[in-house]
Amino acid sequence: SLDKRKATYDRIGSDISERIATLEKRIEAEMEQLRRKFAAMEQAQARAQSVLGSLQQLANQLAANSGQK
């Protein structure tokens, strides 16, 4: 009957809405995890850049000192 079909379609629609909500929650959780990983990567990159700068400065000082001898 028409009522049974409507009830079936309503259940299907409700199930689809629940699946969408579940997927949205998963996507948001994964996005947050990726944001945290990206921030950590940026921090590590900044530290590496700082170390590289210090090493370059030290290399320049050593080169200058060896040229004075």
pLDDT single digits (tens) 4-23:
999 999 999 999 999 999 99
pTM of whole model > 0.85? no
Rounded CA gap, 19 and 60, in Å? 61
12 to 5, 6, 45, 63: CA distances (angstroms): 10, 10, 49, 75
> Can you list the residues of the chain whose pLDDT is less than 70?
69
Q: Where are the alpha helices (DSSP H) in the chain?
A: 2-68
Please choose, from the candidates 47, 12, 28, 63, the residue with its C-alpha nearest in 3D space to the C-alpha of residue 4: 12
